[in-house]
Amino acid sequence: MSSKSASKSKSKKKSTRTEKAFYGIVIGVFEDIGPIARYNNTRIPKDLINRMVVHGMSTVHGGEAVLEVLFGPLPIFDRIDLKYLIYSFNVKASSTKDTRIAEHGRVCSLFLLLKDDQERYALKNHLAIKKIVKEYQKTYWKKERYHKRFCKNSI
């Protein structure tokens, strides 16, 4: 094969890079002392993530009717280029001193962070996203010990 034909075949190769559906994922857990970020795979500063978790969990929680619903997009403070979707659910709490949490379960929230160019995709596919997250939650996050295992790399 000549160097001329080799260079042509190289130039015909297309990029196989796929775009990410989300900028990042954060899991917030309503601990006995209040909402805390337990998992974060973003490069956003810890204090900003903690404010987002407190804001998001305070905004959407108000009883059983708001659990297992996908809310958003909501803004992230100090980051006008980012928003988030939030999906909240209960897990059975085994290690709590709070009688309300012991009785009703521990609220956890999955935060799906979006850049501006990802927002349209997420809104267009919100039912599919909700279905996937709900199925994952029902399969893997039934009890407190499961979300703690997932969140072992807590921030």
Q: Which residue has the tokens 């001193």?
A: 97
Residue 63: the pLDDT is 66
Rounded to 5°, angle at Cα 93 from 153 and 44 = 30
Could you give the dihedral angle defined by the CA atoms of residues 62, 121, 75 and 146, in that order, rounded to the nearest 10 degrees? 50
- Mean pLDDT in runs of 10 for the chain (155 residues)? 52 52 91 93 94 92 76 90 92 87 89 91 88 86 57 43
Residue 16: the pLDDT is 47
Whether pTM exceeds 0.85: no
> What kind and span of H or E run contains 153?
none
Name 19's Cβ contacts closer than 8 Å, sequence gap at least 6: 118
Residue 24: the pLDDT is 93
Residue 139: the pLDDT is 84
Residue 44: the pLDDT is 94
Residue 18: the pLDDT is 46
- The three-state secondary structure class of 134 is helix
DSSP 143: B
Helices (H), 33-125: 46-60, 99-104, 116-124
Task: Using only the alpha carbons of the chain, give its radius of gyration.
Answer: 20
Here the tokens at position 55 are: 């804001």
Name 56's Cβ contacts closer than 8 Å, sequence gap at least 6: 28, 74, 84, 86, 109, 111
